[in-house]
Structure 1
Amino acid sequence: MKVYLKKNIKNRIKNGHPWIYYNEIEKIDGEIENGSIVEVFNHENYFIGKGYINFNSKIRIRLLTRKNEKIDKNFLKKRIVQALRRRNTKEESFRVIFSEADNLPGLIVDKFGNYLVIEINTLGIEKIKNFIIDVLIEIFNPVGIFEKSDSTSRKKEGLTTFTGWIYGNGPELIPYTINGIILFADTKGQKTGAFLDQRFNALSLRNYTNNKSCLDCFCYTGNFGLHMLKFGAKHVTFVDYSKRAIEVAELALKKNDFQNYELIVGNAFDILKSFYNSSKFFDVISIDPPSFAKSASTKQSALKGYKEINLRAMKILKERGILATSSCTQVISEQEFINTIFSAAIDTGKISRILHKGGQPYDHPQVLNILETQYLKFLLLEIENLK
């Protein structure tokens, strides 16, 4: 089936962006079933590419290729092999496929040791899922593949949610190792069960936590705090709103035989305020909150949230303490995030000195042509009193 675009569409599509919105389409030849592969042409009948269509979504077409090639099992194998070559890693745990950034929009695949966890967010990928599973088995020969397709975006695609083992079997908490630390991917937790994108940013703390009192705020299953303890922290306090996440973090702490820690379930904003009121201060604090904004309409609210949580963290840092702070909100740029941190520092009478800037690791590649693939900002700061 053929789809023709309007004459005055933006250069975004021509320049490599894979999304085609409903209002960019001039006409469609014939009747097309949702999730089907279509050929896309511009208004002059010039071939643009192939992708899958869904009339339930404002993003009407997501392009899979700019070539006139068949979308089949061989195509998917080629895409996944390309992604592995792009990573060129010997790590046992990493992101295999990062959706649009790896030319497979709607698909996430994470490798945790001998297990794979996949997340399917679009109808087009759902329709070729069996091919994808066959290729993953052929390439990785995993003990098990768990599907964790429970995002809210599936509803917009006309899909129901699904979670469960679709190949082999495995534990509810999947053990994996990064940077010499044993962690657990929670099949009942967020996203694919664990966040692999912060593993290198956590390494930036290695020179700052030895014999220090530390706080891991929004800790989820404990990534930053576990690294702090590995790097010799005297004590680490873990804070998260999720009781289950704290329980998983505790399991990891025991598995790694770490000592000297405290686990707190509760609202991070309230807990940081209570630390200030009780004069409890830290040498090192990690702030790794969830995305405060999913769209541009909530951007200002997100900026206020980032400012407030970082302001509260700065208030309980000892003189020249270390603040590791992150934003995973795509709608906020790095400069906007830096400006927000600066504003929080000014309001608390602090000087904020950037020691290190981090971002996404190689297995979460940023495609400059696709702004949506750029989301993670990380700053390692020394916080000094202005007077």
Structure 2
Amino acid sequence: MPEYRVKLKKEIKRRIAFGHPWIYENEIAEEPSCENGSLVKVFTYSGQFVGKGYYNRNSLIRVRLLTRKNVNIDRKFFKDKIQRAYSLRTRWLKEKGAFRLIYSEADGLPGLIVDKFADFFVVQISTLGMSKFKETIVNVLIELFNPKGIYEKSEGSFIAKEGIEPYSGWLYGNGPNLIPFKLHEITFLADLHGQKTGFFLDQRFNAENLSEFSTDRRVLDLFSYTGNFAFHLLKGGAREAILVDYSERALAVAEEIARINSFKEKIRTINANSFDFIRNVKIGEFELIVIDPPAMLKSATAKHNALRAYKELNLRAIRSLKDGGILATSSCTQLIRESEWLEKITEAFKDSKKIGKLLFSAGQPFDHPALTSMHESNYLKFRSYIVSSVSEF
């Protein structure tokens, strides 16, 4: 693939110099005459080499850097990157049946997500530049891991903006629509017709840690999807779990997971909007409530409404807990900083006349690495609290 040249403006941003992989339209002095998705070499205004990446004039992020070295972007390049990512994961993972193998920019492969579920990989490609290397990536995954199948699940409005067609289907081999895999002695199902890559692996350790506090508690799992939290809490000893989600399909998959793990008699699924459901819950009805909503906003202009929604959710949940109950709450909205989110949780406790005592705080696991040079890679926020009335504290 031919490479073109991009020249930056005189005052190169410290963000780029210190490792951020994105170069915006207003940072470029001279743009290349090339097709979108082409490889480019990036230089400072004075001619110093910055790195290599791919270019798209349809995006405000004109260049996404793949490397700071002047190397060939070829099969060996992708093989080395994928092997390095795999080594970092498997060095510390106790359970290797399911994990995120590639997390986009955080693994030096912007626009690429690869999740492993048992003997299968699910690939998500979100940029035109990365889509040019799809065949190479698939061949490298086959060579390194010999999977039973590789499924691509590249969907969403951002795909069209990049100039690529959404696609869902098998790229290699074949397999079931519901891929069984093990997490912490529980059999889950990755739903290839569900959301994202079929399962949200980023909350699996938070769910396991929370399960230590679930013994004999009645649980409400809001925005449950297929029940990651609910089934971990049941495994930990919860006596009952109510799963609430707007997706009938997700709840049907959750019921199948319950059947497989002999939890069928301990769950109840409710197809409803979680915001509406929590408004009608009685005071003190539950002993553990999980709030795990999808991202609340896609642009900064709606931040006020998103923060108000976080406060409302947590306020309602706090009021629905018995004294001594546990609130487990999270946000995956990257555009909301942790300090802003925590402020709304604090306000929710104050307005409820309750006190929260922190059990543990967490974020995303190390197979979803957050870069110090790129705050956009750090998105997941998680807190769990014991809830008490002010008068009883």
If the length of structure 2 is used for normalisation, what is the TM-score?
0.96
Q: Which residue of 2 aligns with 1:341?
A: 345
Say if 1:269 and 1:312, in contact at 8 Å, map to a contact too.
no
Q: Deviations over 1:231-287 (max 9, x none)?
A: 1111111110111111011110011011322110001111111112xx561111111
Give unmatched runs, 5+ long, in structure 1: none
In 2, Cα distance between the equivalents of 1:124 and 1:372?
19
In 1, Cα distance between the equivalents of 2:303 and 2:250?
27
Q: How does 1:224-263 map to 2 (within 5 A)?
A: 224-258=229-263, 259-263=265-269
Letter in 2 for 1:281: E
Say if 2:50 and 2:68, in contact at 8 Å, map to a contact too.
yes
In 2, Cα distance between the equivalents of 1:204 and 1:293?
28
Q: In the alignment, does 2:41 pair up with 1:39?
A: yes
In 1, Cα distance between the equivalents of 2:344 and 2:284?
24
Give unmatched runs, 5+ long, in structure 2: none
Say if 1:216 and 1:237, in contact at 8 Å, map to a contact too.
yes
Tell me the CA shift for residue 203 of structure 1: 1.4
Letter in 2 for 1:322: I
Q: 1:7 aligns with which of 10, 17, 22?
A: 10
Q: In the alignment, does 2:302 pair up with 1:295?
A: no
Identity %: 50
Tell me the CA shift for residue 159 of structure 1: 1.0
In 1, Cα distance between the equivalents of 2:212 and 2:135?
46
Letter in 1 for 2:51: G
Tell me the CA shift for residue 9 of structure 1: 3.5
Tell me the CA shift for residue 151 of structure 1: 2.2
Specify the SS of the correspondent of 1:142: coil
Q: 2:23 aligns with which of 10, 20, 23?
A: 20
Specify the SS of the correspondent of 2:211: coil
Q: In the alignment, does 2:361 pair up with 1:357?
A: yes
Greater CA deviation, 205-214 or 44-53? Answer: 205-214
Tell me the CA shift for residue 34 of structure 1: 1.1
Q: 1:270 aligns with which of 255, 269, 276?
A: 276
Specify the SS of the correspondent of 1:207: helix
Runs of 4+ aligned residues of structure 1 deviating over 2 Å after TM superposition are: none
Q: Deviations over 1:298-326 (max 9, x none)?
A: 21111111110111101110001101111
- Cα RMSD of the aligned pairs, angstroms, is 1.1
In 1, Cα distance between the equivalents of 2:212 and 2:67?
44
Q: Which residue of 2 aligns with 1:80?
A: 82
In 2, Cα distance between the equivalents of 1:151 and 1:115?
22
Specify the SS of the correspondent of 2:213: coil
Q: 1:95 aligns with which of 80, 94, 100?
A: 100
Say if 1:241 and 1:268, in contact at 8 Å, map to a contact too.
yes
Tell me the CA shift for residue 140 of structure 1: 1.2
Q: Deviations over 1:311-359 (max 9, x none)?
A: 1101110001101111001111222221111100101111011110011
Letter in 2 for 1:13: I
In 2, Cα distance between the equivalents of 1:53 and 1:28?
9
Tell me the CA shift for residue 114 of structure 1: 0.5
The number of residue pairs the alignment matches comes to 384
Say if 2:284 and 2:323, in contact at 8 Å, map to a contact too.
no
Q: 1:125 aligns with which of 121, 126, 130?
A: 130
In 2, Cα distance between the equivalents of 1:9 and 1:307?
40
Say if 1:323 and 1:383, in contact at 8 Å, map to a contact too.
yes
In 1, Cα distance between the equivalents of 2:319 and 2:31?
59
Q: In the alignment, does 2:227 pair up with 1:222?
A: yes
Specify the SS of the correspondent of 1:378: strand
In 2, Cα distance between the equivalents of 1:28 and 1:216?
50
Letter in 1 for 2:130: I
Specify the SS of the correspondent of 1:174: strand
In 1, Cα distance between the equivalents of 2:310 and 2:219?
20
Greater CA deviation, 341-350 or 290-299? Answer: 290-299
In 1, Cα distance between the equivalents of 2:144 and 2:314?
43
Say if 2:12 and 2:44, in contact at 8 Å, map to a contact too.
no
Tell me the CA shift for residue 208 of structure 1: 1.7
In 1, Cα distance between the equivalents of 2:266 and 2:128?
47
Say if 2:21 and 2:64, in contact at 8 Å, map to a contact too.
yes
Q: In the alignment, does 2:144 pair up with 1:144?
A: no
Say if 2:284 and 2:322, in contact at 8 Å, map to a contact too.
no
Q: Which residue of 2 aligns with 1:115?
A: 120
Specify the SS of the correspondent of 1:206: helix
Specify the SS of the correspondent of 1:205: helix
In 2, Cα distance between the equivalents of 1:240 and 1:322?
20
In 2, Cα distance between the equivalents of 1:108 and 1:311?
35
Tell me the CA shift for residue 206 of structure 1: 2.5
Specify the SS of the correspondent of 1:275: coil
Q: How does 1:131-170 map to 2 (within 5 A)?
A: 131-170=136-175
Q: In the alignment, does 2:308 pair up with 1:331?
A: no
If the length of structure 1 is used for normalisation, what is the TM-score?
0.97
In 1, Cα distance between the equivalents of 2:369 and 2:135?
25
Q: Which residue of 2 aligns with 1:57?
A: 59
In 2, Cα distance between the equivalents of 1:190 and 1:233?
27
Q: In the alignment, does 2:54 pair up with 1:48?
A: no
